[in-house]
């Protein structure tokens, strides 16, 4: 990428210019400053050595441009050239472009992978946009807006711009970033003016405003792809989708606005925005989590056909997994990776290495290293970024071939963890003292990794798209878990405000914790039980110190997921009994095994399903695999014999019939154990729309309901709770979800059975008043949320 050096008398000026450029290119520009002098008394000036060093820092084979403010900055820059190696010197261009506009235009062009000549041209023409806008004489260098060409072979696409501020610099930068990689000519037209669509200045000079029509023209071998890329970008409103949506929502009532999810405008300067998962503000260095390549095993060469089969099977396995993930619409990336793996040339190379006597793993790595190398030296930034994809697929196939375990996350000092996505097991294994915050580029508010982050009390956000590109390892960032912002370049003013808010948050937490052991009584004198959701014995102490009045949901999956073999009846019994005993007379609600969907079971692999969330999940799976289920039922019954504070809860119930079958199995197991099953309270989770609509009949069969809003929301809204693309739909404030909750509470009341809520909504202080209003009287949430939840309830009254 062409490097950019900003030379200025003032360090603060140069830093500001670089900050703007970093913002504009999402941190992709390769930019260095040489500004001010090392004299605290008189810091204004320029330093030749500093200019030389800055050039060396950003130099690569694409060249470097240097922008200067005035006077001696030019002299320092010229002298710096004389000090450089001849080879570097040849690739450096000093340009007369204005320092602010020129740096912006050059950065966008350079970040898009454009060559030196284009970057220089963009910088030189940068002032023209302002001049044209203000009606000044355009500079002599400014590219005149061309008249539309009528090339019949060019492909075209029309679009009405809906961005509130038209195609200003950021959308224009997005267009250049998306189109620069295509090998074709591209023009953007407004009215009778047509400009180069790979040029930031030219696009900005068109001065396109909201509601104006633009046309993209593409001519050349990649015209079809370029039009498709433009179309996709246009539908995303050139990266400002939320700004457009916000504009459209402006007229909605405040009440509705208050219920919107906190998906924020993607355009905050100095921050990446996403969805808030857990509140809190933390500042710490970044740890980027990406996994390492398993080593090539030290083994002799087998038979050629065996070696070939070994790689083929591993590739096949990974392709199938990627295709499944692609089908679940978790992003095009999976289809792209799957296509890469199916490339016949890739396979030819692997095969020829094996023919020459290389073992399968080595042959695979040699091939993929060569491919990665090609990408690394590709012309455009976009293609160079594909090197990471090659690394990813190479690793996945190596894991299959070597049987290596996915890598553990190791963090040495208190940090903010950034990752693409994390498995629940990754999050569960995190050291809370070291992981101060979590920011994922994928995921949703109720995906299981998010739930675990909340349970551990770690400020977190998800769907922070682009976060992995915007920051580097070790960089200091501030995660605002209230708003779902990851600040990588806040202004001093914003950083101060964040620091103040952090202190306020910490104080509020301390005072809520101090009163956590007291009952949560509403202002009109109704005591609302507040219980904890736990994932295992390790969560218990935190739950109790946070004021839990029992356990409303014990997700027993951890017992099954953490071990390679299934837990025995006795192992399960001991865990259930010990947790119940630690709770004294407070209730322990044990949820029977709830796997399937996004919770696979390593120790008990199931056949793949096309739609796992609509497949053999929860009680359905247990009823199909009776031996597995009976072991758990027996362990629960035996624990209940010694701990009468235990109750059983069944997940994913859709029919009365399912409840009857579970009860029949329970009765049978109890009979074998010589006990009476009818004493054990049995409840169900209400998380499937069918259960809501049939709640009256179900209420006749069970002792309690607990509303699982995580699944209920995904099924009511038909939106996968872990799929980033539909994260906005997975919103428990949707009227249809609220209605389902209200119906469930009413059915429970009619039947005289308690109704609690254990989905993530229960812990959301913004939902508490509404839930009390529609009849909910019992809450169960992650331990870290309980003090705040109790404090919130104390402020409310049922009548409000
Ligand atoms: C729910 O669906 O709301 C729930 C509590 O269960 P889980 O999140 O474990 O699926
Ligand atoms: Mg559920």
Give residue-wise pLDDT tens across range 386-398: 666 677 788 889 9
Q: How far apart are CA 48 and CA 54, in angstroms?
A: 10
Ligand 1, atom 4, residue with closest C-alpha: 708
In this structure, of 406-410, 419-423, 724-728, the range with the lowest mean pLDDT score is 406-410
Reduce the secondary structure of 293-345 to three states and give it as a string: CCCCCCCCCCCHHHHHHHHHHHHHHHHHHHHHHHHCCCCHHHHHHHHHHCCHH
In this structure, of 132-146, 541-555, 679-693, the range with the lowest mean pLDDT score is 132-146
Residues in the chain: 800
**What residue ranges of the chain are covered by domains with CATH 1.10.274.10?**
304-402
- Quote the tokens at residue 563: 């071990």
Ligand 1 nearest atom to the CA of residue 760, by list position: 3
Phi-psi region of 443 (alpha: psi -120 to 50; beta: other; left: phi over 0): left
Q: Is the pLDDT of residue 198 over 90?
A: no
| Site to substitute for ligand 1 among 708, 719, 771, most atoms within 8 A of C-beta | 708
CA neighbor of 550 nearest in space, from 588, 591, 590, 592? 588
Active-site pick, 448, 467, 485, 622: 448
Q: Is the pLDDT of residue 201 over 70?
A: no
Three-state SS for 269? coil
**Is the model more confident about 149 or about 572?**
572
Q: What is the pLDDT of residues 215-263, one digit of tens each?
A: 999 988 888 889 988 988 998 888 777 667 655 433 332 222 222 333 3
Report the chain's mean pLDDT, rounded to a whole number.
85
- Quote the tokens at residue 670: 């109890």
Tell me the average pLDDT across 574-589. Answer: 97
Ligand 1, atom 6, residue with closest C-alpha: 708
Q: Phi and psi at residue 708, in whole multiples of 5°?
A: -100, 90
How far is the centre of ligand 1, averaged over its atoms, from the C-alpha of 276 (Å)?
Answer: 18
Amino acid 265: pLDDT: 35
Packing angle, helices 492-514 and 786-795, rounded to 10: 80
Amino acid 669: pLDDT: 97
How far is the centre of ligand 2, averaged over its atoms, from the C-alpha of 722 (Å)?
Answer: 12
CA neighbor of 2 nearest in space, from 74, 59, 54? 59
Amino acid 220: pLDDT: 87
In this structure, of 69-83, 247-261, 692-706, 720-734, the range with the lowest mean pLDDT score is 247-261
Ligand 1, atom 10, residue with closest C-alpha: 711
Q: Which CATH class is domain 3-126?
A: alpha beta
Question: Taking the domain 155-246, which CATH number applies?
Answer: 3.30.1340.10
In this structure, of 194-198, 206-210, 460-464, 786-790, the range with the lowest mean pLDDT score is 206-210
Q: How far apart are CA 506 and CA 417, in angstroms?
A: 20
How far is the centre of ligand 2, averaged over its atoms, from the C-alpha of 463 (Å)?
Answer: 21
Amino acid 346: pLDDT: 81
CB-count burial class (<10 Å; 0-12, 13-18, 19+) for 610: exposed
Q: What is the pLDDT of residues 739-779, one digit of tens each?
A: 999 999 999 999 999 999 999 999 998 899 999 999 999 99
Packing angle, helices 169-179 and 11-24, rounded to 10: 60
**What residue ranges of the chain are covered by domains with CATH 3.40.50.510?**
3-126
Tell me the average pLDDT across 202-216. Answer: 81
Query: Domain 271-291+412-501, what fold?
Result: Glucose Oxidase; domain 1 (3.50.30)
Amino acid 362: pLDDT: 95
How far is the centre of ligand 1, averaged over its atoms, from the C-alpha of 593 (Å)?
Answer: 12
Ligand 1 nearest atom to the CA of residue 533, by list position: 5
Three-state SS for 629? helix
Q: Alpha carbon of 284 to those of 2, 458, 475, 500: distances in Å?
A: 31, 13, 8, 16
What sign does the CA torsion over 482, 502, 25, 419 have?
Answer: negative
The CATH-assigned architecture of domain 520-794 is Alpha-Beta Barrel (3.20)
Q: Is the pLDDT of residue 52 over 70?
A: yes
Amino acid 409: pLDDT: 79
Q: How far apart are CA 779 and CA 776, in angstroms?
A: 8
Question: Does the annotation count 758 as an active-site position?
Answer: yes
Amino acid 155: pLDDT: 86
> Got the DSSP string for 13-45?
HHHHHHHHHHHHTTT-S-EEEEES-S-TTS--S
How far is the centre of ligand 2, averaged over its atoms, from the C-alpha of 690 (Å)?
Answer: 14
- Quote the tokens at residue 113: 């992978």
In this structure, of 329-343, 545-559, 601-615, 687-701, the range with the lowest mean pLDDT score is 329-343
Q: Is the pLDDT of residue 324 over 70?
A: no
How far is the centre of ligand 2, averaged over its atoms, from the C-alpha of 708 (Å)?
Answer: 5
| Site to substitute for ligand 1 among 612, 759, 761, 771, most atoms within 8 A of C-beta | 759
Q: How far apart are CA 458 and CA 592, in angstroms?
A: 27
Stated as kind and residue range, the H or E segment containing 500 is helix 492-514
Q: How far apart are CA 438 and CA 415, in angstroms?
A: 9
In the structure, how many helices (H) and strands (E) does the chain have? Answer: 33, 25
Ligand 1, atom 9, residue with closest C-alpha: 555
**Is the model more confident about 210 or about 717?**
717
> Got the DSSP string for 585-605?
TS-EEEEPP--BTTB--TTS-
Strands 704-707 vs 682-686: parallel, antiparallel or unpaired: parallel
Amino acid 224: pLDDT: 86
**Is the model more confident about 244 or about 401?**
401
Q: How far apart are CA 562 and CA 52, in angstroms?
A: 55
**What residue ranges of the chain are covered by domains with CATH 3.30.1340.10?**
155-246
CB-count burial class (<10 Å; 0-12, 13-18, 19+) for 60: exposed
Question: Does the annotation count 448 as an active-site position?
Answer: yes
In this structure, of 329-343, 352-366, 493-507, 783-797, the range with the lowest mean pLDDT score is 329-343
How far is the centre of ligand 2, averaged over its atoms, from the C-alpha of 568 (Å)?
Answer: 24
Amino acid 238: pLDDT: 86
Q: Is the pLDDT of residue 471 over 90?
A: no
Q: Tell me which residues have their CB within 5 A of the ion that is ligand 2.
A: 687, 708, 711
CA neighbor of 104 nearest in space, from 10, 170, 181? 170
DSSP β-bridge partners for residue 648: 590, 682
Amino acid 328: pLDDT: 47
How far is the centre of ligand 1, averaged over its atoms, from the C-alpha of 645 (Å)?
Answer: 22
In 69-212 the beta strands, taken as DSSP E runs, fall at 92-95, 146-147, 155-160, 185-190, 193-196
Tell me the average pLDDT across 701-716. Answer: 97
> Got the DSSP string for 693-712?
HTHHHHHTT-SEEEE-HHHH
**What residue ranges of the chain are covered by domains with CATH 3.50.30.10?**
271-291+412-501
Q: How far apart are CA 542 and CA 524, in angstroms?
A: 29
**In the chain, % of residues over pLDDT 90:** 49
Confidence of residue 336 (pLDDT cuts 50, 70, 90): low
Amino acid 770: pLDDT: 94
Q: How far apart are CA 150 and CA 54, in angstroms?
A: 46
Q: How far apart are CA 414 and CA 436, in angstroms?
A: 6
Pocket of ligand 1 (CB under 6 A): 451, 553, 555, 594, 687, 708-711, 758-759
Tell me the average pLDDT across 37-50. Answer: 84
Q: How far apart are CA 736 and CA 732, in angstroms?
A: 9
Ligand 1, atom 8, residue with closest C-alpha: 710
Strands 551-555 vs 476-480: parallel, antiparallel or unpaired: unpaired
Q: How far apart are CA 420 and CA 288, in angstroms?
A: 9
Amino acid 477: pLDDT: 96
Q: Is the pLDDT of residue 266 over 50?
A: no
Three-state SS for 656? helix
Q: How far apart are CA 713 and CA 737, in angstroms?
A: 6
| Site to substitute for ligand 1 among 532, 535, 539, 555, most atoms within 8 A of C-beta | 555
CA neighbor of 184 nearest in space, from 157, 158, 217? 217
In 201-313 the beta strands, taken as DSSP E runs, fall at 213-219, 271-273, 275-278, 281-289
Ligand 1 nearest atom to the CA of residue 758, by list position: 5
| Site to substitute for ligand 1 among 449, 532, 554, 594, most atoms within 8 A of C-beta | 594
Contact 349, 370 (CB under 8 A): yes
Ligand 1 nearest atom to the CA of residue 557, by list position: 9
Q: Is the pLDDT of residue 385 over 60?
A: no
CA neighbor of 422 nearest in space, from 376, 398, 383, 456? 456
Query: Cβ–Cβ contacts within 10 Å for residue 190, how many?
Result: 20
Ligand 1, atom 1, residue with closest C-alpha: 708
Contact 468, 420 (CB under 8 A): yes
Amino acid 776: pLDDT: 97
Q: How far apart are CA 681 and CA 704, in angstroms?
A: 8
Amino acid 649: pLDDT: 98
Q: Alpha carbon of 221 to those of 66, 154, 180, 217, 280: distances in Å?
A: 34, 11, 14, 13, 51
Query: Domain 304-402, what fold?
Result: Enzyme I; Chain A, domain 2 (1.10.274)
């Amino acid at each position: 990428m062409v490097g950019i050096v900003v030379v200025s008398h003032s360090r603060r000026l140069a830093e500001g210019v670089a900050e703007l450029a970093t913002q504009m290119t999402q941190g992709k520009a390769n930019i260095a400053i040489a500004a001010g002098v090392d004299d605290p008394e008189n810091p204004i000036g320029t330093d030749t050595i500093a200019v030389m060093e800055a050039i060396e820092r950003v130099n690569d084979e694409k060249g470097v441009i240097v922008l200067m403010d005035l006077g001696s900055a030019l002299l320092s820059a010229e002298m710096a050239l004389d000090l450089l190696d001849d080879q570097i010197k040849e690739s450096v261009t000093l340009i007369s472009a204005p320092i602010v506009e020129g740096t912006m235009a050059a950065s966008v062009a350079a970040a898009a992978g454009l060559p030196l000549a284009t970057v220089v041209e963009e910088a030189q023409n940068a002032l023209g946009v302002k001049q044209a806008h203000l009606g000044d004489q355009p500079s002599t260098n400014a590219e005149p807006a061309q008249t539309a060409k009528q090339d019949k072979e060019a492909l075209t696409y029309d679009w009405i711009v809906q961005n509130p501020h038209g195609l200003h610099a950021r959308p224009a930068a997005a267009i250049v970033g998306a189109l620069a990689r295509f090998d074709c000519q591209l023009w953007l037209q407004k009215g009778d003016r047509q400009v180069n669509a790979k040029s930031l200045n030219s696009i900005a000079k068109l001065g396109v405003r909201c509601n104006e029509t633009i046309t993209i023209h593409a001519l050349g071998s990649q015209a079809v792809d370029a039009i498709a890329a433009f179309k996709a970008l246009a539908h995303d409103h050139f990266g400002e989708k939320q700004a457009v949506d916000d504009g459209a929502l402006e007229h909605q009532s405040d009440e509705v606005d208050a219920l919107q999810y906190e998906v924020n405008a993607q355009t905050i300067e100095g921050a990446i925005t996403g969805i808030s998962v857990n509140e809190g503000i933390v500042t710490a260095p970044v740890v980027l989590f990406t996994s390492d390549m398993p080593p090539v095993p030290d083994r002799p060469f087998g038979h050629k056909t065996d070696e070939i089969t070994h790689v083929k099977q591993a590739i096949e396995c990974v392709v199938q997994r990627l295709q499944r993930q692609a089908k679940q619409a978790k992003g095009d990336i999976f289809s792209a990776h799957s296509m890469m793996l199916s490339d016949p040339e890739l396979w030819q190379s692997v095969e020829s290495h094996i023919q020459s006597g290389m073992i399968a793993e080595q042959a695979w790595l040699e091939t993929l290293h060569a491919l990665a190398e090609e990408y690394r030296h590709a012309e455009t930034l976009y293609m160079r970024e594909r090197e990471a994809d090659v690394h990813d697929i190479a690793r996945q196939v190596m894991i299959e071939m070597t049987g290596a375990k996915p890598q553990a996350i190791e963090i040495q000092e208190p940090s903010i963890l950034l990752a693409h996505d994390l498995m629940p097991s990754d999050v569960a294994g995190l050291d809370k003292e070291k992981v101060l915050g979590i920011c994922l580029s994928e995921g949703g508010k109720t995906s299981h990794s998010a739930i675990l982050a909340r349970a551990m009390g770690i400020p977190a956000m998800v769907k922070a798209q682009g976060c992995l590109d915007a920051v580097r390892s070790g960089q200091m960032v501030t995660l605002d878990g209230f708003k779902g912002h990851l600040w990588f370049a806040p202004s001093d003013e914003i950083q101060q405000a964040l620091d103040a808010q952090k202190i306020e948050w910490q104080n509020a937490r301390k005072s809520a914790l101090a009163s956590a052991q007291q009952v949560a009584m509403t202002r009109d004198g109704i005591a609302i039980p507040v219980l904890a959701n736990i994932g295992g014995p390790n969560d218990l102490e935190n739950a109790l110190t946070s004021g839990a009045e029992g356990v409303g949901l014990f997700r027993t999956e951890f017992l099954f997921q953490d071990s390679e073999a299934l837990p025995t009846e006795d192992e399960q019994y001991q865990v259930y009994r010990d947790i119940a005993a630690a709770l004294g007379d407070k209730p322990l609600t044990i949820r029977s095994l709830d796997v399937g969907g996004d919770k696979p079971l390593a120790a008990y692999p199931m056949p793949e399903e096309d739609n796992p969330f609509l497949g053999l999940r929860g009680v359905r799976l247990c009823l199909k695999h009776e031996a597995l289920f009976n072991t758990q039922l027996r362990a629960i019954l035996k624990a209940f014999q010694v701990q009468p504070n235990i109750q059983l809860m069944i997940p994913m119930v859709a029919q009365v019939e399912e409840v009857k079958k579970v009860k029949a199995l329970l009765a049978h197991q109890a009979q074998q154990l010589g006990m009476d099953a009818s004493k054990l309270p049995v409840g169900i989770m209400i998380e499937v729309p069918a259960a809501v609509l049939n709640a009256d009949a179900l209420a006749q069969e069970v002792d309690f309901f607990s509303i699982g809003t995580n699944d209920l929301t995904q099924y009511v809204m038909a939106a996968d709770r872990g799929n980033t693309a539909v994260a906005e739909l997975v919103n428990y404030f949707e009227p249809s979800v609220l209605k389902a909750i209200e119906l469930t509470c009413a059915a429970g009341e009619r039947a005289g059975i308690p109704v609690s809520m254990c989905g993530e909504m229960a812990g959301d202080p913004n939902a508490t008043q509404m839930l009390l209003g529609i009849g909910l009287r019992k809450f169960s949430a992650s331990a870290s949320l309980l003090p705040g939840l109790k404090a919130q309830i104390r402020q409310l009254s049922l009548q409000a």
